[in-house]
Structure 1
Amino acid sequence: MGKASRDKRDIYYRKAKEEGWRARSAFKLLQIDEEFNIFEGVKHVVDLCAAPGSWSQVLSRKLYLPAKLSTDSKDQDLPLIVAIDLQPMAPIEGVIQVQGDITNARTAEVVIRHFDGCKADLVVCDGAPDVTGLHDMDEFVQSQLILAGLTIVTHILKNGGKFIAKIFRGKDTSLLYCQLKLFFTEVTLAKPKSSRNSSIEAFAVCENYSPPEGFSEKDLHRLLEKVGTPSGADDLGISFLTIFILHARTILTNTL
């Protein structure tokens, strides 16, 4: 049975169509918020690897539109939402689109300019490279994508902020957890009920951004490598940094 046939019977696929979401993945972010209350107090938020835009839709409907409808809200009080992707996507009300590379420091500068010099309260990332079907390779590449996201997070997230990112569960999940714990006091791995049981995906919910004392963004890779590198790196004969650069710059899709 093909993927399309399975999707037609999937409750979240049908609900997404009925409610106007661009993808069923919208329910994953909604359910993460139900469990962790990630939107509380958020005024500045960034959606990494945003296309086709289902998570940006959630941010618009949960943050921007309620504030806009409030009778006493002013334009300067409205939440600011910035969506970043290498690909363009159809407009979403209240969402500023930036077509750029999340590994490029200039992209971070653009985000901060949109925030009038402020930093983000929340950064989310549901991106994933096209999967190969080779579990170890897919897990490894996805972990590097998350660390690419962490690169821009260290530039744009305020102290105390939150970072939500898709992961692929596998033998190196504990290593990724330790790497994220370098920068966040609380890291929880969540599996929303809308995430298919057959999928290896989960989500890292990282709370209270607290970089090490004296941390410089230039130290990021050195700190991560001190914790360790994924075991698949040696098996594949590819260096940590090579995979990081190659796959962080691919066109990213929300395939799961």
Structure 2
Amino acid sequence: MGKASKDKRDLYYRRAKEEGYRARSAFKLLQINEEFGIFSGVKRVVDLCAAPGSWSQVLSKELNKDTDETDRAKIVAVDLQPMTPIDGVTCLQADITHPKTLLKILQLFGGEPADFVCSDGAPDVTGLHDLDEYIQAQLVLCALQLTTCILRPGGTFVAKIFRGRDIDLLYSQFSYLFESVVCAKPRSSRGTSLEAFIVCQGYRPRPNWKPELDLTKSTEEFFEDAQIGKSYIGNDMEFPDAEERSIARFVACGDLEDGDSDATYVLNTNERKRNLEPVQMPTAPPYKKALELKRKGEMQRKS
């Protein structure tokens, strides 16, 4: 989070900087936990698409509260971008769809499965809602692929989703794998945003299905033998009448006395005089070098 921003009067933005969190999204996970108690009994966690690391900060702080060094939770944060180290968190710069990433996480857990897997990842939005929703759904399914390979029965999975017209298909697919599937909207998530979070509790591995990550398979091919339902069009170009869809229960999270994420708050006099330093320096995106070359005119198309 930078030193100056157009969001400086956003209450959650200010609170995140004051409390040392790297992003305002930390409060989304905290409010989800207040409603569902997802941190209870958790000792092994995987935070997918973790950068800049605000969710990992929350996990390290909350799970290791009132514990000694021998009983600390094992937290693994995975992202393609580099992350500044976080106390109590092992950071992996890796691809969440790669089998080597899964093996590395299992190695860090001593071969034991995870109790909780979460993902706050999202693509760079284009403004084309249908395209953004599709890409986000694919990212969620990629996170689910790794989750099915590492989550213990009865475990919990939480991921960011974009609520679109076909989100009920995603709810239906998750309902095959979890006892409870709920769509949660934390108060710290702007009401004007399509963003929400799917909270899945009580993981139920599909009978006679052994999930294995394979770079040559699409997400649809990965879940093909799991029989969790898919969207398809018949030869007559119509959706089958018997296609199963489900609607997840919608829950608003967060204390009503907390700030409104869509409101603008006037800074008081003391806050105006105080210039908060960045919690974490910006990380370089993978395309930064390409942008620098383009500005210098050194990038040329190959003939």
TM-score class, shorter-chain normalisation, is 0.7 to 0.9
Structure 1 residues 224 and 171 mapped into 2: Cα distance closer, same or farther (>3 Å)?
A: farther
| Matching residue's letter, 2:47 | D
> Which of 178, 182, 190 does residue 184 from structure 1 map onto?
178
Q: How does 1:141-156 map to 2 (within 5 A)?
A: 141-156=135-150
2:34 — aligned with what?
A: 34
| Matching residue's letter, 1:178 | S
3-state DSSP class of the match of 1:227?
Answer: coil
1:243 — aligned with what?
A: none
3-state DSSP class of the match of 2:85?
Answer: coil
Structure 1 residues 151 and 27 mapped into 2: Cα distance closer, same or farther (>3 Å)?
A: same
3-state DSSP class of the match of 2:223?
Answer: helix
1:193 — aligned with what?
A: 187
1:215 aligned onto 2:217: no
1:172 aligned onto 2:159: no
Query: What is the root-mean-square deviation in Å for CA atoms of aligned residues?
Result: 2.0
Q: CA deviation at 1:225?
A: 7.8
1:240 — aligned with what?
A: none
Q: CA deviation at 1:229?
A: 3.2
3-state DSSP class of the match of 1:84?
Answer: strand
TM-score, normalization by structure 1: 0.83
| Matching residue's letter, 2:224 | R
- Structure 2: where are the runs of 5+ without partners? 213-220, 238-284, 287-303
Structure 1 residues 230 and 21 mapped into 2: Cα distance closer, same or farther (>3 Å)?
A: farther
Q: CA deviation at 1:49?
A: 0.4
1:246 — aligned with what?
A: none
| Matching residue's letter, 2:231 | T
- Considering fraction of residues, name the structure with more helix: 1
Q: CA deviation at 1:90?
A: 0.5
1:159 aligned onto 2:179: no
3-state DSSP class of the match of 2:142?
Answer: helix
Q: How does 1:2-13 map to 2 (within 5 A)?
A: 4-5=5-6, 7-13=7-13
Larger Rg over CA atoms:
2
| Matching residue's letter, 1:57 | Q
Give the Cα–Cα distance (whole angstroms) in 2 for the partners of residues 185 and 19 of structure 1: 35
- Structure 1: where are the runs of 5+ without partners? 235-249, 252-256
Q: How does 1:85-96 map to 2 (within 5 A)?
A: 85-96=79-90
Q: Is the 8 A contact 1:187 1:206 kept in 2?
A: yes
Q: Is the 8 A contact 2:156 2:203 kept in 1?
A: yes
2:197 — aligned with what?
A: 203
Give the Cα–Cα distance (whole angstroms) in 1 for the partners of residues 42 and 35 of structure 2: 16
Give the Cα–Cα distance (whole angstroms) in 1 for the partners of residues 210 and 151 of structure 2: 14
3-state DSSP class of the match of 1:145?
Answer: helix
Give the Cα–Cα distance (whole angstroms) in 2 for the partners of residues 37 and 112 of structure 1: 25
| Matching residue's letter, 2:59 | L
% of aligned pairs identical?
54
Q: CA deviation at 1:155?
A: 1.1
Q: CA deviation at 1:224?
A: 7.1
Q: CA deviation at 1:226?
A: 6.2
What is the CA deviation profile of residues 118-175 of structure 1, one whole-angstrom value per residue up to 9, with x for unaligned ones? 0100001000010010111111110000000011001111110000000000011100
| Matching residue's letter, 2:148 | T
Q: CA deviation at 1:221?
A: 2.7
Structure 1 residues 98 and 83 mapped into 2: Cα distance closer, same or farther (>3 Å)?
A: same
Q: Is the 8 A contact 1:140 1:230 kept in 2?
A: no
| Matching residue's letter, 1:38 | I
1:136 — aligned with what?
A: 130
**Which moved further from structure 2: 222-231 or 164-173?**
222-231
TM-score, normalization by structure 2: 0.70
Give the Cα–Cα distance (whole angstroms) in 1 for the partners of residues 36 and 228 of structure 2: 30
| Matching residue's letter, 1:17 | K
Give the Cα–Cα distance (whole angstroms) in 2 for the partners of residues 196 and 223 of structure 1: 38
